[in-house]
Amino acid sequence: MIELEIITYNPDFNFFGILTIQFTWDLGGGILWSAQYNTAQLSPYAGFKGQLTLALEIIFGIMLVIDIARESRDIYLAILREDLIMGYMTKVWNWIDWSHYGLLGTSLGLWTAYNQYILSLNLKGSYPVLSNLEAKARLFATDAKGEFELLDFTEKMRKLAEMKNSYTAINCLSILFFVVRILKILDFQPRMSLITRTLRVASIDLGHYLSLFALIFVGYASVGTLLLGDRLQQFQTFGDSCCELFMIFMGWEPMYQIMGQAAGQTKVLASSIIFEIFYWSWVLVATFLMLNILLAIIVDAYASVKAKMQDAPTIVHESLVVCKESAQMVGNRLWGSEWFISDKELEKVLVKQNRNFQSKKNILDTIGQLRGTAKSVRLAGGLEVSEKDFANLLQGNGNTKRSLLAKVQSNRENVRNVRMEDGIEIEDEGEWKPPPAVENLIKRYGEVVPDGKDDEELLDLIRTENMKRQMAMYTTQDHIRQQVESVSDMLNAIVRFTLPVEERERLQTA
């Protein structure tokens, strides 16, 4: 093999290029050649673009540290709850996250090493190799020191280019992981999670399909290597056969004529017949059968997921709702308009009152509950929270210091309906009106539940409770059975030890 290496330099961008041309001779005497061109930049942060790149890289590093810290906190909380750590470790998405963190950390490490290596370089303006440019004989005689410096410079540029290529390859892989993680993050929105939910529904069928396809694929690749490996470069190895069969499977590369000519070179009719069977059976099984089965599995899963999200809100609608609520929160803080309660504030109250809900409102309270046309918020298990329930909940059990409605009540005008009877003021209670904050919550989360509507959540909760009771009863019965068997074995041992043989035989035959 002969290798020719040429190093070029662009002074405008402080950019080195390394062109490598390799010449090799095959067994037939032909000359094969290949070329590679690698680059190495010595001033990645020069100019405004370089400074902007540095600033973005610093921001990216800070965000990466924050993201890793948040994920580490999730692991710590899962370790504190021993029943959660196994669930965390068995989720594929968590392994994808940490693999991505590893790639990003490796990328940052390589880029830091790349820049450190650039700073350690001591480049010269020129590298004279010839010992005497004015010599009349031995014109190409080289100076040993100059030649060593040039070779050392070439090796450094080659190493710098290899570091940059490794950094680029890891970055490309990191971007692919970014795409996968974005699909994971978008899983919260029903319509944006269409891809992940479709694959999740079709995962079992896809697993069986891929197992069957792998068996067929390996068999055909082996036949292709044995039949055409000594005559076609595309089938010389098993890996080459796999690649070429996949290209035929996708219809990207028509190879029928080339493969037919190669199979006919043997002048044996059996080889041509075997090739025809091999090629057309692969087209029939792979393209017409397996590919359509794959599409059917995915389309069926897609239709199932699509049917469940007919009433799901669009991402535009949810974005508008978020913007509207954010604007209301800003107005709440700036202009003292205390009629809006954010989702986080409501969540804190619900978490604090969770135990009270469980103790005061059980399943029996919701069975047979009359439902009118007024809006209410339905919780898991069929529990409905009306306007008055919300007002009492947000009052903080009478503690006005912690009440979210305390400010509202203080800012609202107290309109009193007073009438005089015999010189005494009597205040009419009148019809109760919910505070504006409660009306806003009912408007955001409430729904009208018509009479006779099946409460699937309540039924699921009752089924779950019944299943728990049955499992507990089964465990108790199994424990009792084991104790009865132990007592029976003990009594049998006592009988065999105390009674005479004749009496035992009489009892056994009785």
| Domain CATH for 263 | 1.10.287.70
Within-domain flag for 97: no
- The Cα–Cα gap between 390 and 372 comes to 17
Neighbours of 74 (CB within 10 A): 13
pLDDT of residue 418: 53
Question: Regarding predicted confidence, which is higher, 413 or 460?
Answer: 460
* Mean pLDDT of the 403-409 span: 51
Within-domain flag for 60: no
pLDDT category, 50, cuts 50, 70, 90?
A: confident
- The Cα–Cα gap between 148 and 220 comes to 54
- Return the percentage of the chain with pLDDT > 90, whole number: 18
Within-domain flag for 311: yes
- The string of pLDDT tens digits covering residues 261-317 is 665 555 555 667 887 888 888 888 888 899 899 999 999 999 988 888 877 888 888
Q: Supply 410's token pair.
A: 């203080």
Within-domain flag for 292: yes
Within-domain flag for 440: no
Nearest to 444 by CA among 340, 371, 351: 340
- The sheet carrying 384-385 orders its strands as 384-385, 375-378, 447-448
pLDDT category, 176, cuts 50, 70, 90?
A: very high
Within-domain flag for 504: no
Within-domain flag for 177: no
pLDDT of residue 406: 54
**Structural domain boundaries enclosing 206:** 192-331
- The string of pLDDT tens digits covering residues 348-383 is 666 666 545 444 444 334 333 333 345 566 655 455
pLDDT of residue 146: 85
Using CA of residue 260, residue 266, residue 271, residue 272, what is the dihedral sign?
A: positive
- The string of pLDDT tens digits covering residues 385-402 is 666 776 776 665 444 455
pLDDT of residue 415: 45
pLDDT of residue 429: 52
Distance set, CA 316 to CA 50, 90, 193, 308, 320 (Å) = 37, 34, 14, 19, 6
pLDDT of residue 366: 39
- The string of pLDDT tens digits covering residues 262-277 is 655 555 556 678 878 8
Q: How many domains does the chain have?
A: 1
pLDDT at 318 over 50: yes
- The string of pLDDT tens digits covering residues 51-97 is 999 999 999 999 999 999 999 988 888 888 766 788 888 888 889 99
Distance set, CA 462 to CA 122, 380, 385, 388, 480 (Å) = 77, 12, 20, 27, 27
pLDDT at 215 over 90: yes
- The string of pLDDT tens digits covering residues 119-150 is 888 888 888 888 887 777 777 788 888 888 88
Contact criterion met (CB below 8 Å) for 428 and 419: yes
Its pTM stands at 0.60
Question: Within 238-386, where are the H helices?
Answer: 238-250, 256-264, 269-282, 291-308, 315-334, 343-352, 354-360, 363-366
Strand partners, 39: 17
Within-domain flag for 11: no
